[in-house]
Amino acid sequence: MKQNEIKITFQPSGRSIYVLPGTTLLEAAARAGFILQTPCGGKGTCGKCKVRVTSGHCAEPVPNSVLSNDQIRQGFRLACQAKAEEPLVIEIPAASLFEHEHQILIKSGKYEVKLSPYLRKIYFTLEEPSMQNPQADLARLRQALGDIRVSYKMLRHIPQFLRNNQWKGTAVLADRQLIALEKGDTCGSLYGVAFDIGTTTMVGTLIDLACGTEAAVSAGMNPQVTYGDDVLSRVQHVREQPGSLSELQAVLIDAINKLIERMAAEKGISLSSIYDISVAGNTAMQQIFCGLNPHALGEIPFTPVFDQAFRIPAESLGIKANPASDTFVFGQVGGFVGGDTVAGMLASRIDQWGKPVLLVDIGTNGEIVLFNQGRMWAASTAAGPAFEGARISHGMRATAGAIEKVIMGEEVQINIIGNVKPIGICGTGLIDAVAEMLRTGVLDVTGRMLPLDELAATVPAALRKRLIVRDQQTDFILVHAIESGVDGPIMITQKDIRELQLAAGAVRAGINILLKRAGIAADELDAVLLAGAFGNFIRRNNARRIGLLPQIPCDKIRFIGNAASLGAKMALLSSREREYSERLRGKTEHVDLSLDPEFQMEFSAAMLFPEHEPVV
């Protein structure tokens, strides 16, 4: 913790973080991993981001139509407006959480999403066969369960199960297929796991399918990073090393199994009560997960193996769950636009916006979807791992010790994740730093760090002192050696700026190409939906300043949480959602940026930082 940082604790989880004074409660919550609802885009007019300050003083707002006098007295504040100036304890009502809305809607059936999982359990009691009723075992079972389908393997199991269990038990049905019989009444114990498999990280969520709630969440690194830090290098690895597909698949399945075991242990359930799995990832990740060769993704015209969603027996993949369980794999749009994009479209209901809207999921692979007048276009950009901190001299992931926020004025102020000395900088910190260097004049629009003799007189003296020349180029000392947790200073080098320009330029060029396809300008967008773990921590004004996002008002840029993960969960909770995802996929046009004649020109143009600060 730096001297001027303040501690914010969130209840009921008890999670604490340190932020700079003046940080909004919305941003602090996001930093702590809580994505709040912001339907008005942070304008302070919808009231959905409401939180309660239970300890510490947080300036009272003027009563308005959003918060009543009573609520203000009780400590309620709008997280998008209220700022932390001293240590606070904040209670987040469940209804203010982004994902809560979806769960409530799923449960209440107000939305199109109703809890109707592909899997269900039915407890049955059958009459024993007698002289008067010598009906066949299967006919007897069908009388109780309806018109079920039964495999030969299951048919062989039925007679013994019924006789050993006094003609009672629980049937597990996948749609109408009988997949398992369990002793006693186990209807209350039915679980599924939803996975978002990213190029760098993965998130698993254990879902209680009996009531539709989240039981546990676990995240980890995708261990394939040791085979290359972007999708192309992994595809290349498979192409060049015979036998490496099964190796890459095995490390991934192993990591997935560890997440499943961790969540099952946390919830205290057995692996055999997990009957359903859903998976969303980009095409390369999904294909490697399924053991399908991604060879053709490594050459023009970048063809995936499959397009429609399908199911694979989890046992054949080696996944630790009930042997009767299946894995639902999302359909793929084309090229590198895979199931994670389809899952994101599903979660954001992008097709129901009515007005032009852009969905951007920024990760190692940046996915972009544009909706306009009933049509949808999707593209994938090879942003590279710079946003995850890779290929940056002092880059790191957003974990303890990472500089996640930078403000430059007369001096440099930084915010670090965790109560430790800084050891590196993560993607959001890098975007902040570069945006601030542009504002203060340390950096020009071409991305060149200016040497001392070219700096404008307005550049503060404290910043000038941080510029050093090494190997004929200028670098910037972000944290002096004496204050850093590593051996030496934490620098932002000219090469780091170039890496960020490449990553941001790729995403922005992709956005521009999609806008052209739709025949609209950026200012006609009604909203930009930012998805993904990284997207939700970006400071919107800084993302615009470096040109990563279009120059539109900040209140049009909305955070929607980890949309791919949410889509994967929705697919577990409702078979209708699976069908819906397929309809979305079928209606989406794939735009292959690498084959677009204008991409190179757009990319070169997007590498330049915008000349001016956006107006709002």
Smallest distance from ligand FES to CB 41, Å: 7
Smallest distance from ligand FES to CB 39, Å: 6
Smallest distance from ligand FES to CB 81, Å: 7
Whose Cβ is closer to ligand FES: residue 49's or residue 370's?
Answer: 49
The three-state DSSP-derived secondary structure of 376-434 is: EEEEEECCCHHHHCCCCCCECCCCCCEEEEEEECCCEEEEECCCCCCCEECHHHHHHHH
Tell me the DSSP string of 503-570: HHHHHHHHHHHHHHHHT--GGG-SEEEEEHHHHTTS-HHHHHHTTSS-S--GGGEEE---HHHHHHHH
**Angle value at C-alpha 323, between 318 and 328, nearest 5 degrees:** 70
Whether the Cβ atoms of residue 181 and residue 169 lie closer than 8 Å to each other: yes
Smallest distance from ligand FES to CB 72, Å: 14
112 CB-near residues (< 8 Å, 6+ apart): 576, 580
Say how far apart CA 18 and CA 341 lie, in whole Å. Answer: 33
Whose Cβ is closer to ligand FES: residue 15's or residue 43's?
Answer: 43
Smallest distance from ligand FES to CB 66, Å: 6
Whose Cβ is closer to ligand FES: residue 26's or residue 343's?
Answer: 26
Structural tokens at position 447:
């991305």
Whose Cβ is closer to ligand FES: residue 78's or residue 179's?
Answer: 78
Whose Cβ is closer to ligand FES: residue 80's or residue 369's?
Answer: 80
Smallest distance from ligand FES to CB 101, Å: 13
Say how far apart CA 112 and CA 576 lie, in whole Å. Answer: 9
Whose Cβ is closer to ligand FES: residue 26's or residue 321's?
Answer: 26
349 CB-near residues (< 8 Å, 6+ apart): none
What DSSP designation does 485 have? S
Smallest distance from ligand FES to CB 44, Å: 5
Which amino acid is located at 538 in the chain? I
Whose Cβ is closer to ligand FES: residue 46's or residue 520's?
Answer: 46
What DSSP designation does 73 have? H
Number of other CB atoms surrounding residue 484 within 10 Å = 21
Smallest distance from ligand FES to CB 560, Å: 13
- Please give the residue ranges that form the binding site for ligand FES (CB under 6 A): 38, 40, 42, 44-49, 78, 80
Whose Cβ is closer to ligand FES: residue 40's or residue 138's?
Answer: 40
